[in-house]
Amino acid sequence: MNARTIRFTLNGAPASAEIGTHQSLVEVLQQRFDLFGARESCAQGLCGCCTVLVDGTAVSGCLFLAVFADGAQVETVEYLGAGERLDPVQQAFIEAGAFQCGFCTPGFVLMTRQLLDENPDPSDAEIGHYLSGNLCRCGTYPQIVEAVRLAAKKRKA
Amino acid sequence: MTTTISPGGQVGRSVPRLEARAKVTGRAEYVHNLRLPGMLYGKIFRSRTAHGRIRRLDVAAARAMDGVHSVITAEDVRRVIPDPYYGPAFHDQPILAIDKVRYVGEPVAVVLAADPHIAEAAAHLIVAEYDELPAVFDEREAMTSTAIVHEVLRPAGTFPDLKHLEGRTNTNIALDFHLRQGDVDAAFASAEQVFEHTFQTQQVLHVPLEPFVSLADATPSSVTIHTASQSPSFVRIEIARLLRWPENRVRVKTLHLGGGFGAKLYIKLEALVVALSLLARRPVKVALSMEEQFYTITKHASTFRIKSAVAKDGRVTARHCEVLWNGGAYADIGPRVTQKSGFTAAGPYDIPAVSIDSYALYTNLPPAGALRGFGIPQLVWAYESHTDLIARALAIDPLTFRRKNLLRNGRPQATGTIMRDAEIEAVLERLAARLDWNRPFDRGAGAVKRGRGIAIGFKASIAPTTSIASVAIHADGSCTLSCGTVDMGQGSDTAMAQIVAEVLNLEAEAIAVIHPDTDVTPYDMATLGSRSTYHMGNAVRLAAEDARDKIAALAASLGLPPGSNLSLAELFRRKYGMQAGTIIGTGSFIPSYSPPDHSTGLTENATPFWMIGATGVELEVDTETGHVRVTRLVNVADAGRAINPRIVETQLSGAAIMQLGFTLFERMNFDKGQVTNASLADYKIPGMHDLPLAIESEFVPAEQQGGPFGAKGVGESATFGVSPAIANAIHDAVGVRLTALPLTPEAVYRAIRAAAGDPLGEE
């Protein structure tokens, strides 16, 4: 195994870890930092369950090699709800009942935030297009669209 | 939607899920997250042959690899579990393949290592050679094939109607269920017209986004199993049987499930991880990949031949149904699907003479079990397509034809059971009203044609079985509910908390619900078949009422007058002199039920309740590409009285969207038994772009007698009508009938070309 030490910023705090160069970011987040909000499901970057922000951009943590996080700013869903107050997107997901089993929810929450950063007032078609890389087997999509609309309103308020 | 709030204000309220905050912050606990000190990971080496005798299994290279703890084969497993065959209906499935393999993907050996990457790399070094045996894949061929999947049938003994199969040889039929009601032959002989069609469904997959995961921590005298399971009580009983241990030495714990849909039922990886942990003397975790889910449990492919006799006035006078269920290599719960769903195969219609023959078949494909509907979506697909075809042939409006034949409360269903609290008529009428069925319908223009269709189905509660719950009132008056229902996303923790809160006059949000843990939570048959709201809901209500009675008795023992409004905390303080004590209420529930007669399938009490679901569809078909675009999908259901309206609505839309995938594109493809699309790249599930333009869900005002606060199950109801409603709408739009799922653009386009007398060549 090729080992390497990476140093990066994780959820606002400095972090380092000795990792295998073959290890994915999601694996390192789980095994070394006990962060389980990003989770592997399809392992092909197709379902969005492993979504993590690297330097502010959403990536599939199951395909993103941890070595590439060296020097980067990494944020996970845990960073959002860390304080007493939830992020408006999280709050909107709760109010709209936009999840069932919850396994895909962190990915949807992170992508919705990124969507609203880029486009504060998306149409339903734009929501559908932007979130088409996230899958929800419980089929909670109508409620997710509702949550995104609600989150957009909350962020403007 | 009609919402009735109860006197306590808790039942009928759309309480947000209790675990909502944990789920949106990524902190919800799944077994997936769990690691134990000293834990090993197991990676499975699987069969690449559909049917063959194992001639040679060489694990030497894997065993020699650096970092490998051990390589386990069936021989090793037998040292700790001498008779390592499991299953809910048949003891037919070996923990690891013994002597022969029966499908591509069957577990043959396991590599254990502290690093999962090493375990996986080592598994690739294992070599197996097989003497190939003739294989059978098609359920129709399995009826008569000389390729026999199991040499001897081994029913588990749990179900009386399987006992007659004990020791049978030279057959692939794992259960034959028969129902005979009225004089079918006479009715066919005197019929004005007879219609016969055959419909097929494809093998599909549950695809929970949290793949199967189990972790066992065994000592020589006890074992704890952490598992993403819908049936922890069953796992405990089955593991205790395999180990010949008492139940109290086996502990099964679950956390939140990242989806289940029937996949994580009965026993899957649990026996394997127990054997591995006993052998390694360390905790062992096996977490499957998405690909491996395709080799674990699936939904039955089926072939359904349906034949109806129709009188001059459009009444169906007799119906014969023959259903073949492709169960794959191991029975799992397939024989129950065959019987429990089989008896409704004639549909929600008032038909005086019915005969049903339903067969569970072994084949050399990955096993099939329960998937959101327990066989019902396969049946509704056939009988509602058939219903539409008859109506068209008779030139009767499909809604009118259904009204004429509908099964109404007070009338006997095919088993002879009198229908009660089944709002079939109300559901159909509400669907028709929402679709505005009598208005003129826009048929589209140019190459894009529009059509609409309806379908309605029903389902019996397939498991009239036991649920037990306990409610603890702590010394400060707070309350904890212990029940074995597994919340896999359906919202059961929240609904059960609402029931407790209603009885005890508390806020639902204040109730703590314990994750199933067989050392703590009482027995529950399983979380399946939409049984929990009714069965566990009743047990929970009884437990809360028992606690309430004990609180009253405590107050009386302190000399307080009835109705005194002293706080619970003060009651405890007066009784025990300090903040101390616990009140425990218990509730146990099993509904009445009469099993069907073995030869006729008849019974006066087939089910404690019925679930009803209807779907209406408006769609466009592009005649140049065969592409179908659903513009409106309307689901109407009878959910009894909704405990949590918002969650019920989400269950309805979610179930319909899942079934939309099974209808339009999902299909496991095979080449000589090998799945060729075992990944989400090749097996597509519905995403945002697949949603209908409009999706509407509604439940009718209803009250289920005997249900907790009038409630009943609803998790599967919106799957029933989706597939036939779409096929009926396609027929309405372009005049072609598809009889096999999925309704892909290619299938639609081929049918259009064939109807135009210009068929395309072979696939």
First to last CA, chain B: 46
In the sheet that B100-101 helps form, which strands lie side by side, from edge to edge? B100-101, B52-58, B127-132
Whole-number pLDDT of residue B388? 98
User: Domain residues of chain B, as ranges?
Assistant: 20-29+465-589, 39-133+212-287, 298-404+415-462+597-755
Contact criterion met (CB below 8 Å) for B27 and A109? no
- Rounded-to-integer distance, Cα B260 and Cα B529, Å: 12
Report the residue of chain B nearest A82, measured CA to CA.
B25
- Rounded-to-integer distance, Cα B111 and Cα B747, Å: 43
First to last CA, chain A: 51
Chain B residues in contact with A143 by the CB 8 A cut-off are 650, 653
pLDDT over threshold 60, residue B3: no
- Rounded-to-integer distance, Cα A90 and Cα A57, Å: 18
The predicted model scores a pTM of: 0.97
Compute chain B's Rg from CA coordinates.
27
Q: Name the architecture of domain B298-404+415-462+597-755.
A: 2-Layer Sandwich (3.30)
Contact criterion met (CB below 8 Å) for B732 and B617? no
Dig out the tokens for A64 from the structure: 């993103």
| CB-CB under 8 Å, B650 with A20 | no
- Rounded-to-integer distance, Cα B392 and Cα B94, Å: 50
Report strand pairing: B93-94 vs B353-361. Answer: unpaired
Q: Read off the pLDDT of each residue in B612-628 and give the average, rounded to a whole number.
A: 98
Helix (H, G, I), strand (E, B) or coil at B159: coil
Dig out the tokens for B523 from the structure: 């027995």
Q: B39-133+212-287, superfamily in CATH?
A: Aldehyde oxidase/xanthine dehydrogenase, a/b hammerhead (3.90.1170.50)
Contact criterion met (CB below 8 Å) for B237 and B308? no
Residue window 128-157, chain A: list those with CB within 8 Å of chain B. 128-129, 131-143, 145
| CB-CB under 8 Å, A81 with B26 | yes
Contact criterion met (CB below 8 Å) for B581 and B473? no
Does the beta carbon of A79 lie under 8 angstroms from any beta carbon of chain B?
Answer: no
Write out pLDDT tens, residues B217-275: 999 999 999 999 999 999 999 999 999 999 999 999 999 999 999 999 999 999 999 99
* Cα B126 to the center of its chain, rounded Å: 35
Report the residue of chain A nearest B261, measured CA to CA.
A138
pLDDT over threshold 70, residue B367: yes
Does the beta carbon of A76 lie under 8 angstroms from any beta carbon of chain B?
Answer: yes
Sequence-separated (6 or more) residues with CB below 8 Å from residue B762: none
DSSP 8-state symbol, A79: G
| CB-CB under 8 Å, B290 with A43 | yes
Sequence-separated (6 or more) residues with CB below 8 Å from residue B32: A36, A39, B210, B213, B228, B258, B287
Does the beta carbon of A94 lie under 8 angstroms from any beta carbon of chain B?
Answer: yes
| CB-CB under 8 Å, B488 with A142 | no
| CB-CB under 8 Å, A137 with B685 | yes
Q: How confident is the model at residue B4 (pLDDT cuts 50, 70, 90)?
A: low
Chain A residues in contact with B658 by the CB 8 A cut-off are 137-139
Residues of B taking part in catalysis: 716
**From B209, B490, B656, residue closest to A47, measured CB to CB:** B209
Chain B residues in contact with A134 by the CB 8 A cut-off are 687-688
Helix (H, G, I), strand (E, B) or coil at B704: coil
Write out pLDDT tens, residues B400-457: 999 999 999 999 999 999 999 999 999 999 999 999 999 999 999 999 999 999 999 9
Nearest chain B Cα distance for residue A79, angstroms: 8
Contact criterion met (CB below 8 Å) for B365 and B705? no
Contact criterion met (CB below 8 Å) for B610 and B422? yes
Write out pLDDT tens, residues B665-687: 999 999 999 999 999 999 999 99
pLDDT over threshold 70, residue B1: no
- Rounded-to-integer distance, Cα B125 and Cα B238, Å: 33
Residue window 111-130, chain A: list those with CB within 8 Å of chain B. 127-129
Q: Read off the pLDDT of each residue in B344-363 and give the average, rounded to a whole number.
A: 97
Contact criterion met (CB below 8 Å) for B651 and B372? no
- Rounded-to-integer distance, Cα B286 and Cα B698, Å: 41
Q: Read off the pLDDT of each residue in B519-542 and give the average, rounded to a whole number.
A: 97
Closest CA to B471 of B557, B323, B583, B311: B583
| CB-CB under 8 Å, A22 with B24 | no
Chain B residues in contact with A62 by the CB 8 A cut-off are none
Mean pLDDT check: name the lowest of B499-503, B616-620, B652-656, B757-761: B757-761
Instruction: List C-alpha distances in Å: B140 to B324, B327, B360, B375, B453.
Output: 7, 12, 11, 17, 30
Chain B residues in contact with A97 by the CB 8 A cut-off are 14, 16-17, 646-647, 650
Write out pLDDT tens, residues B580-607: 999 999 999 999 999 999 899 999 999 9
- Rounded-to-integer distance, Cα B130 and Cα B283, Å: 32
Same topology, domains B20-29+465-589 and B39-133+212-287? Answer is: no
Helix (H, G, I), strand (E, B) or coil at B252: strand
Dig out the tokens for B715 from the structure: 């998790």
Q: How confident is the model at residue A1 (pLDDT cuts 50, 70, 90)?
A: low
Contact criterion met (CB below 8 Å) for B114 and B67? yes
Put residue B446 in one of left, alpha, beta given phi > 0 → left and psi -120 to 50 → alpha: left
| CB-CB under 8 Å, A139 with B689 | no
Helix (H, G, I), strand (E, B) or coil at A149: helix
| CB-CB under 8 Å, B25 with A81 | yes
Dig out the tokens for B104 from the structure: 């591509």
Closest CA to B590 of B546, B536, B643: B536
Instruction: List C-alpha distances in Å: B578 to B475, B480, B573, B581.
Output: 9, 20, 5, 9
DSSP 8-state symbol, B693: S
- Rounded-to-integer distance, Cα B54 and Cα B51, Å: 10
**From B32, B210, B688, residue closest to A128, measured CB to CB:** B688
Strands (E), B493-609: 511-514, 582-589
Domains of chain A: 3-79 (3.10.20.30), 88-156 (1.10.150.120)
Write out pLDDT tens, residues B137-163: 999 999 999 999 999 999 998 777 788
Nearest chain B Cα distance for residue A71, angstroms: 24
Report the residue of chain A nearest B208, measured CA to CA.
A137
Q: Read off the pLDDT of each residue in A124-136 and give the average, rounded to a whole number.
A: 97
Mean pLDDT check: name the lowest of A30-39, B191-200, B335-344, B380-389: B335-344
- Rounded-to-integer distance, Cα B368 and Cα B332, Å: 7
Chain A residues in contact with B259 by the CB 8 A cut-off are 100-101, 103, 137-138
- In this prediction, the answer to ipTM > 0.95 reads yes
| CB-CB under 8 Å, B211 with A99 | no
Residue window 33-62, chain A: list those with CB within 8 Å of chain B. 35-39, 41-44, 46-47, 49
Peptide bond into B440 cis (omega under 30): no
Whole-number pLDDT of residue B513? 98
- Rounded-to-integer distance, Cα B77 and Cα B83, Å: 9
**From B206, B256, B655, residue closest to A102, measured CB to CB:** B256
Contact criterion met (CB below 8 Å) for B499 and B538? no
Write out pLDDT tens, residues A39-62: 999 999 999 999 999 999 999 999
Q: How confident is the model at residue B93 (pLDDT cuts 50, 70, 90)?
A: very high
The CATH code of the domain at B20-29+465-589 is 3.30.365.10
Sequence-separated (6 or more) residues with CB below 8 Å from residue A60: A45, A48, A50, A51
Tokens 């905390």 sit at which residue? B569
Q: Read off the pLDDT of each residue in A10-34 and give the average, rounded to a whole number.
A: 97
pLDDT over threshold 80, residue B319: yes
**From B21, B650, B680, residue closest to A140, measured CB to CB:** B650
Contact criterion met (CB below 8 Å) for B216 and B224? yes
**From B257, B646, B653, residue closest to A142, measured CB to CB:** B653
* Cα A118 to the center of its chain, rounded Å: 16
Beta bridge partners of B152: B169
Q: How confident is the model at residue A84 (pLDDT cuts 50, 70, 90)?
A: confident
| CB-CB under 8 Å, B33 with A140 | no
| CB-CB under 8 Å, B20 with A94 | yes
Contact criterion met (CB below 8 Å) for A81 and B24? yes
Whole-number pLDDT of residue B159? 78
- Rounded-to-integer distance, Cα A150 and Cα B592, Å: 46
Nearest chain A Cα distance for residue B340, angstroms: 25
- Rounded-to-integer distance, Cα B680 and Cα B292, Å: 12
How many residues are recorded in chain B? Answer: 763
Whole-number pLDDT of residue B2? 47
Write out pLDDT tens, residues B156-214: 987 777 888 899 999 999 999 999 999 999 999 999 999 999 999 999 999 999 999 99
Contact criterion met (CB below 8 Å) for B546 and B585? yes
Compute chain A's Rg from CA coordinates.
16
| CB-CB under 8 Å, A97 with B17 | yes
Tell me how many degrees the CA angle B753-B758-B762 measures, rounded to the nearest 5.
80
